[in-house]
Structure 1
């Protein structure tokens, strides 16, 4: 059984990549980590802590991430939970406010509001008309800040070590 679940909801794979990097950092601190698509998680009960990330499109979280929070809210309220979203594009990624429902669910389970990481849209991974157009414009590229992601995950790992 893993100690930590890192779940994600992604459209084009960028958020999955962030989840995998977070899991790698937490594993480096000697924690057992499971990484799963949020839609595939049956229960959070076996885990001591949960990290959930969602892609952020048009100020919305992926439906499977919101369903994950709703379905698991009672169990999540009894464990440490960290939330993140990814999606802003450009050189300067500004923190993005979570959708109202996500803010409400985060408050209900006692989690802080989601941390924002830059997203990725390239011609190779663009799915859908809007994404394909964006992948051809000035916002195209990989805007994920791996150092910021690693630092955030390091802080989670440190929290988990101190909680042991």
Structure 2
């Protein structure tokens, strides 16, 4: 079974999540290809998909959105998992007690849930290296509330990411076993 892990990343944190997912899938015996998601990326050679993007201002980056929309019919026929990264910091709830992972689900999850019927949709915490920020983001971070909204550090939970990937591998290997009559 060949799995495409397609991602969109602005500063590299989401790319690292995608690479880790690919490594874990390969360690479980699957053929996993990790590629940047673009409208031109060909989905036809793959049996299953893990697609993710960094989320900014509540939305995925353009590349993953274009990839999924272009290949929606094909992806709807095959196993798909979706992920997003973005929340920063150690807090699990905002000032009003709301779950940050729920609050930061990208808008595309609603559309893609209905279109693709994914196996799972997951939001992971991200990472931020201030020295890599683009000028506008650097300016926002300099504002009094900017450091609160854009704290520096790596907040990714690698154990959670690995466990999610192992669950995907288990599911795909179970699907392959059933299709081969095992």
CA contact (8 A) 1:121 1:134 kept: no
Instruction: Please list every run of 5 or more consecutive structure 2 residues that lacks an aligned counterpart in the other structure.
Output: 93-99, 177-182
Instruction: Tell me the residue number matched to 1:149.
Output: 161
Instruction: Tell me the residue number matched to 2:111.
Output: 104
TM-score (norm 1): 0.90
Instruction: Tell me the residue number matched to 2:66.
Output: 67
Using the alignment, how far apart are the partners of 2:31 and 2:3 within structure 1?
6
The answer to whether structure 1 residue 163 and structure 2 residue 175 are counterparts is yes
CA contact (8 A) 2:87 2:124 kept: yes
Larger radius of gyration: 2
Using the alignment, how far apart are the partners of 1:79 and 1:113 within structure 2?
13
Instruction: Tell me the residue number matched to 1:92.
Output: 91
Instruction: Tell me the residue number matched to 2:27.
Output: 28
CA contact (8 A) 1:89 1:119 kept: yes
Change (3 A) 1:102 1:66: farther
Counterpart mapping for 1:30-69 below 5 A: 30-39=29-38, 41-69=40-68
Paired residue secondary structure (1:53): strand
Per-residue displacement from partner, 1:126-152 (whole Å, max 9, x unpaired)? Answer: 223225653983511111111111111
CA contact (8 A) 2:84 2:105 kept: no
Instruction: Please list every run of 5 or more consecutive structure 1 residues that lacks an aligned counterpart in the other structure.
Output: none
The structural deviation recorded for 1:40 is 6.7
Using the alignment, how far apart are the partners of 2:51 and 2:24 within structure 1?
15
CA RMSD of superposed structures (Å): 2.0
The answer to whether structure 1 residue 137 and structure 2 residue 144 are counterparts is no
- Greater mean deviation of Cα atoms: 110-119 or 129-138: 129-138
Equivalent residues, number:
162
